Amino acid sequence: MSASYALHGPVAVITLDNPPVNGLGFDTRRGIADGVQRANADEAVKAIVLTGAGKAFSGGADIKEFNSPKAIAEPNLLSLIRLLDNSAKPTIAAINGTAMGGGLELSLGCHYRVAAPKVPIALPEVKLGLVPGAGGTQRLPRVLGVETALNMIVSGEPVMSDLLASQPGQKLFDKIVDGDLLAGALAFAAEVADKRPLRRVRDLPLTHPNPDAYFQFARNTVRAMAKNFPAPARCVDCVEQAMKLKFDDGLRYEREAFIALMATPESRSLRHAFFAERAASKIADVPDDTPQRKIEKVAVIGAGTMGGGIAMNFLNAGIAVTMLEMKQDALDRGLGTIRKNYEAQVKKGKLKADKYEGRMALLTTTLSYDDIKDADLVIEAVFEEMGVKEKVFKTLDEVMKPGAILASNTSTLDVNKIASFTQRPQDVVGMHFFSPANVMKLLEVVRGEKTGKDVLATVMALAKKIKKTAVVSGVCDGFIGNRMIEQYSRQAGFLLEEGCTPAQVDRAVEKFGFAMGPFRMGDLAGNDIGWAIRKRRYVEKPNLRYSKTADLLCELGRFGQKTGAGWYDYQAGKRDAIPSKLVEDMIAKHRGEIGVAPRKIGDDEIVHRLVYALVNEGAKILEEGIAAKASDIDMVYLTGYGFPLWRGGPMRYADEQGLFNVVQTMQHFAGNPHDDAAFWQPAPLLAKLAAEGKSFT
Ligand code: NAI
C-alpha cells in the first residue's frame, strides 16, 4: 500500500507515501480509499486527516502510470474525491508540502485544509495542454474566487500557501500552521470533529459582480497570449461553466474538455516534451547510481562570446569560477560583458543588487594556468581551430589536478581528437552550450569514445544544477543540432536560388512557429560563423552541393546585425529586419549565373523542405547512434533552435504527419533538378519505419 493508516486518539491519519512526490498512482489511491472507509466504519474515529510523507503533499497523477490502464483503474481520482466529499466524518487535508494538479484537487475534496507556510500550490495541467480533470476548475474558484483561481489555472504557475491564505475571503486554507503541521492538524481536527453540517467545497456559492465582461476579457487575454494552444481558452470556459451550471454538470463539462484536449496534437506535443526532457537525462549504460565527481570550482578558458555566458551559469548557481585569457584586455572585456549583463538584470528588477554582488564575488580572472590547476571542471571556449584547442588541451593535461574534468565547448570539432591531445581521454567531454550561453536552455553533452561514465554522470547532474536541459550526443561534425541545421540551411539556400526572397522564407518558417526564420537567425548570430564553417566543411566534402548565396553575402561584408547589414538592412540601433534590394539583386544575379529560372514557391513547400531536411538528417543521426532516442533530437530542437513547442520537435512533427507521407514528400523533392536528389533519399531507418507503419517516437 502506498498510503499508511494510523490512529492518533480519535483522529485517523492517512499518509500518502509514494516517493518522490506522492503521485496518485493506483496503490496510493487504493490506500486512501481504504483508509477513508475504515475510518468511517470505526466508531472511535471522529475525524480523518489526510497528509503526505516526505516533502510533498502530492504532486498529482503518478507519471509512471501515464497512459497505462492503472492510471484510470478504480478507484480513480474522481471516485476518490467523491468518497471524501461524502464522508460522514470530517476530512482535513494537512498540506505539508507541494500540492499540485490532482494533489490539490484531492485536497479540495476534503471538508477542511490546513497547510504549512510557503508550500507551492498549483494546477499545472495547462502546461501539458490540458484543463484540470478532477474538479479543479469547479472547486478552486469556490474557495479562491473566480479571478484568483482562473489566473492559477490558465498560468499553471505555483503560488505559495501563505500568500493564498492572505487573500481576503479565501476558503482554500482554514489555517496556516507554523511548526509541527501534524500536531496543528490534529488540534484543528479536535475543534471541528463535532461540527455539522459538514462544509463541502462543491456546495459553496460562486459569484462574480460582472461575469460576462470578465470572462470575455479573460478569453481575449489568453487567446492573445497563447494563440497556438487551445487549453488556456478551455480553462476559461470551464470556470465560466462552474458559475453557470449545476455542480455535477460543471464536473461533466470539465471532464469532456479534458478528454477532448487529450486528443489534440498540441497536448500530445507538450506531453511528449515533458517526457522527452525526463528521458534525456537518462543514459542507458550510465545507471543512476554511477559515482559522481565533486564540482566546487570551475575554470573557463576564453572570455569571449561563449566563455562569459558559460561562466554566468555557474555563478548563478553559486559555484566559483575563474576565467583565463591570453591577454589582460580580453579578460577586461569579458568581465565587462558579464557585469553589463547582470546590471541589465538588476535594472529590470530581475536580480537583486546584493545577489549581483554575491555572484561577482564568486568570479576571479587570471592570465596564468597556475591559478586554475585546482579546478574540478575546466571548460574550454577558445577559437574554433583545432591547433588552438590542441595547445590548450596539452597545457590542461600538464597542469590540471588528477580527476579534473576537461570539457570543450567546440561546436563542430572532433572531441575524440581533442581528447587525444591529453593522457587522460576518460576525463574529456564536450559541453556544447548555445548562444547566449547564460540564456539558452540546451546543453549538448558530447560523449567521446573514451569519456568516463562518472564524467558523464557528473556533467548530467551539473547541467540540472545550472538549469540546463542536457542531451547526450555522440561525436560527429556538428553533433545533433548543428549537423541537422546544416541540411536546413542548405535547403534555405536552394530556395533562394529557385525563386524565394529571404523574407519569404523567414515568413513561412515563422508562420509555422519557429522563433526565427533562417535568414533573420543568420543575421543575429553572424553570417561569418557559418562562412568559416563552410570553408572547412565543403573542402572536406567537395561533392556536397550548396548554394553560394551566403558566401556572396559574406564577401560583401554583410555579416548581419553586428555590421549593420546582412540578409536584411538594419537602421542604426534597431533590430528590425528590412528587406534589402541589394541582396535581392545579388540573388537574382546569382540565379542568372547558374542558369536557374525563378519560380513561385508556396509556404508549404518552404516549410516542408526545411523541416523534413531536419527529419531526414535526424533519422540518420538516430540510426548511427549519435542520438540515443528520437525524443532527444526533439529536445535539442525545442530548447536550442526555437522549434515550436506545440509541434513537439521535428521527429514528433514527422510522426504527426505520418512517416508514410513524409517519405512520399521527400521522394517528390528528390525529383527537383535544382535540389539534392541524393539527400532526399529517405534515410534507411525512416524508410523502414514508414514501410512498417511505425513512428519515431
Ligand atoms: P570568441 O572569439 O568570442 O572568444 C574566444 C576567446 O578565446 C577570445 O576572447 C580569445 O581571446 C580567447 N582565446 C583564444 N585562444 C586562447 C587561448 N589559447 N587561451 C586563452 N584564451 C584564448 O569565440 P566564441 O564565439 O566565444 O567561441 C568559442 C568557442 O565556443 C568555439 O569553439 C566556438 O565554436 C564555440 N561555440 C560558439 C558559439 C557561438 O554562437 N559563438 C556557440 C557554441 C559554441
Ligand 1 neighbour 302 (Cβ under 6 A) = yes
Which amino acid, residue 689? L
Indicate if 498 belongs to the active site. no
CB-ligand 1 contact for 330 (6 Å cutoff): yes
- 242 and 389 both lie in a single domain: no
Question: Ligand 1: which atom is nearest the Cα of residue 307?
Answer: 26
Q: Is the CB of 303 under 6 A from ligand 1?
A: yes
In a domain, 286, yes or no: no
Q: Does any ligand 1 atom lie closer than 6 A to the CB of residue 396?
A: no
One domain, residues 214 and 332: no
Q: Are residues 204 and 330 in the same domain?
A: no
CATH number at residue 176: 3.90.226.10
Sorted by sequence, the CB contacts under 8 Å of residue 494 that are 6+ apart come out as 547, 609, 674, 675, 676
473, 501, 529 — which closes off a domain? 473
Grid coordinates given for 481 = 543540432
- 3-class SS of residue 113: strand
| 651 domain residue, yes or no | yes
Residue 253 counted as domain residue = yes
* CA 472–ligand 1 middle distance (angstroms): 22
334 C-alpha vs ligand 1 centroid, how far in Å?
A: 11
Instruction: Assess whether the C-beta atom of 307 lies below 6 angstroms from ligand 1.
Output: yes
Query: Does residue 1 register a pLDDT over 80?
Result: no
pLDDT (0 to 100) of residue 235:
98
Separation of first and last alpha carbons in the chain = 33
Best mutation site among 328, 382, 528 for ligand 1 pocket (most ligand atoms within 8 Å of CB) = 382
Task: Provide, rounded to the nearest whole percent, the portion of the chain with pLDDT above 70.
Answer: 100
**pLDDT tens by residue, 583-598:** 999 999 999 999 999 9
Question: Looking at ligand 1, which residue's alpha carbon is closest to its atom 9?
Answer: 304
Q: Which of 125, 254, 266, 486 is catalytic?
A: 125
| Cα–ligand 1 centroid distance for 579 (angstroms) | 31
Ligand 1 mean position to 366 CA, how many Å? 16
H or E element at residue 378: strand 377-380
pLDDT at 534 over 90: no
Q: pLDDT tens across 613-629, in order?
A: 999 999 999 999 999 99
Residues 200, 166 within the same domain: yes
Q: Is residue 67 part of a domain?
A: yes
Q: Is the CB of 427 under 6 A from ligand 1?
A: no
In this structure, the answer to whether residues 225 and 343 fall within a common structural domain is no
Residue 291 in domain: no
pLDDT for residue 218? 97
CA–CA distance, 527 with 554 (Å, rounded to integer): 7
Domain shared by 304 and 246, yes or no? no
At a CB cut-off of 8 Å and minimum separation 6, what does 24 contact? 16, 18, 58, 60, 61, 62, 77, 80, 102, 103, 106
Strands ordered across the beta sheet of 56-58? 56-58, 98-100, 120-122, 159-160
Q: If you average pLDDT over every residue of the chain, what do you get?
A: 96
Q: Say whether pLDDT at 458 is over 90.
A: yes
Q: What is the mean pLDDT of residues 419-434?
A: 98
Pair 394, 527 in one domain: no
pTM: 0.91
- Residue range 464-519, pLDDT digits in tens: 999 999 999 999 999 999 999 999 999 999 999 999 999 999 999 999 999 999 99
pLDDT digits (tens, 9 = 90+) for 270-326: 999 999 999 999 999 999 999 999 999 999 999 998 999 999 999 999 999 999 999
With a 6 Å cutoff on the Cβ, whether 409 touches ligand 1 is yes
Q: Which of 473, 498, 528 is the last residue of a domain?
A: 473
C-alpha distances in angstroms, 294 versus 27, 291, 321, 326, 424?
A: 38, 10, 15, 28, 18
| CATH code assigned at 326 | 3.40.50.720
Whole-number Å distance, alpha carbon 611 to ligand 1 midpoint, is 30
Residue 638 CA to ligand 1 centre (angstroms)? 25
> Is residue 14 in contact with ligand 1, taking CB distance under 6 Å?
no
Is 105 a catalytic site residue?
yes
Please report the pLDDT score of residue 464 as a whole number. Answer: 96
User: 304: Cβ below 6 Å to ligand 1?
Assistant: yes
CA of 188 to the centre of ligand 1 (A): 62
Cell of 318: 553559486
Average pLDDT in the 56-85 region? 92
Residue nearest to atom 28 of ligand 1 (CA): 381
Distances (CA, A) of 498 to 313, 484, 490, 630: 43, 22, 12, 32
Residue 302 shares a structural domain with residue 401: yes
Are 39 and 181 part of one and the same domain?
yes
Q: Which atom of ligand 1 is nearest to the CA of 382?
A: 7
Q: Is residue 270 part of a domain?
A: no
- Name the residue of 300, 301, 306, 408 to mutate for ligand 1: max ligand atoms within 8 A of Cβ: 306
Residue 492: CB atoms within 10 A of its CB come to 28
Q: For the chain, how many structural domains are there in total?
A: 3
Does ligand 1 have an atom closer than 6 angstroms to the CB of 301? yes
Q: What is the pLDDT of residue 174?
A: 97
One domain, residues 352 and 305: yes
Within a domain: 697:
no
Residue ending a domain, among 442, 473, 504, is 473
Question: Is 282 inside a domain boundary?
Answer: no
User: pLDDT class for 129, splitting at 50, 70, 90?
Assistant: very high
What's the pLDDT at 67? 78
- Are 457 and 518 contained in the same domain? no
Give me ligand 1 centre to Cα 524, in Å.
Answer: 17
Tens digits of residue pLDDT in 320-335: 999 999 999 999 999 9
Ligand 1 touching residue 435 (CB < 6 A)? yes
190-238: pLDDT as tens digits: 999 999 999 999 999 999 999 999 999 999 999 998 889 999 999 999 9
Q: Count of CB atoms within 10 A of residue 5's CB?
A: 17
> Residue 412 CA: which ligand 1 atom is closest?
34
For residue 381, the CA-to-ligand 1 centroid distance in Å is: 4
The boundaries of the domain holding residue 312 are 297-473
pLDDT, average across residues 151-155: 97
- Cβ–ligand 1 distance for 392 under 6 Å, the answer yes
The active-site residue out of 43, 105, 385, 540 is: 105
Same domain, 434 and 497: no
